[in-house]
Amino acid sequence: MTTPVAIGAPQHTPVPFDPEIQAALDAMPQMPPMTRETLRGGPAMPFPSNDEIIGDRAIDWEDRVIAGPAGAPDIEVTIYRPRGTEGQALPAVYNIHGGGMIVGHRSWEAGRVIDIVAELGVVGVNVEYRLAPENPFPAGAEDCYAGFVWLVENAADLGVDPERIVVMGGSAGGGFSAAVALMARDRKGPQMAGQLLLCPMIDNTNSTVSSLQYDGIGTWQRDANLLAWSCVLGDDAAFSTDAPAYAAPSRARDLSNLPPAFVEVGSAEMFRDEDVEYASRIWATGGQAELHVWSGGSHGFDMYMPGSALAQAALAARSSWLRRILGVS
């Protein structure tokens, strides 16, 4: 397997982390590098239960099992709803979790979804999907699209306004969210109100300047990204510019006629350049994109450093966009 390198690139000195972010990074325990052999080998990471996260907030939740793509296993989803809103058609956020498409579980991001439900009074749907390498592309993308279609088709039963659904996710979940938007457009499927792309993982080539700046530093590093794309696309096709757009949305030749996008990324992470380019290409078609590049932000800084001033500013910007797109006060 050939490791991609940017052609003619200058010295790749990383953009420094914000001081609060740097302090949190310094305090993090060092984790051994991921390999195919270790992806499923360790103990499950403990995360608070839904009830613990909800606490005294008036939110009900339930797990459901829904039909997966044709010929594929069923999909698990968790649904969160503000208590006392039965009979109302509320806006909804459909969340796809991160993890490089190779690790992770929807419970990792229950807090993110529950906070949005509590703040905006919307329905939250958190979807599970199959992971690579056991289930390489297109398994994960098709699961995420099937879950979105199910949500729209069952909107009346769920008390959801089908015209006010935002598909969202961070990292791999952001990549899948962009892919679902492309799939819905190309397949003439259900329309979404917007796509909320948080530090999305969308470029399989690993050839940008920022992809080389964060080799061995930060929260999601170059070696993990190379492994992830190899697991998703296979060693021979992992870094090809001919990769499918539903796997790596940066490969899409046409970004026109997409729902409004919110693109967020840190200036101090490897996905910076691919995400900025994606927003720029949407603008080039006359499309709508709101881009935020948070100075000194590491990958997923809002999850790893939620109390930082940078994270609080990012959350406020997201909330503003969601309110405008979903029409909530």
d(Cα 234, Cα 192) in Å, to the nearest integer?
31
**Strand, coil or helix: what is 276?**
helix
Q: How far is CA 160 from the centre of its chain?
A: 22
- At residue 11, what is the residue type? Q
Q: Where are the alpha helices (DSSP H) in the chain?
A: 19-27, 50-54, 110-120, 139-153, 155-158, 172-186, 209-213, 222-233, 272-284, 301-304, 309-326
Indicate if the pLDDT at residue 5 is higher than 60.
no
Strand-pair partners of 272: none
Contacts of 70 (CB under 8 A, 6+ apart): none
Q: Read off the pTM.
A: 0.95
Q: Which residues contact 194 (CB under 8 A, 6 or more apart)?
A: 166, 167, 259, 260, 261, 262, 321, 325, 326
Checking if the pLDDT of 7 tops 70, the result is no
pLDDT band at 2 (very low <50, low <70, confident <90, very high): low
Cα 207 off chain centre by = 21
Q: How do residues 60-95 score in pLDDT, each as one tens digit?
A: 999 999 999 999 999 999 999 999 999 999 999 999
Name the residue with tokens 């996710």.
169
The per-residue pLDDT of the chain, averaged, comes to 95
N- to C-terminal Cα distance for the chain?
Answer: 51
DSSP 190: -
Does 40 have pLDDT greater than 90?
Answer: no
All domains of the chain in start order, with CATH: 76-326 (3.40.50.1820)
**pLDDT cut 90: percent of the chain above it:** 91
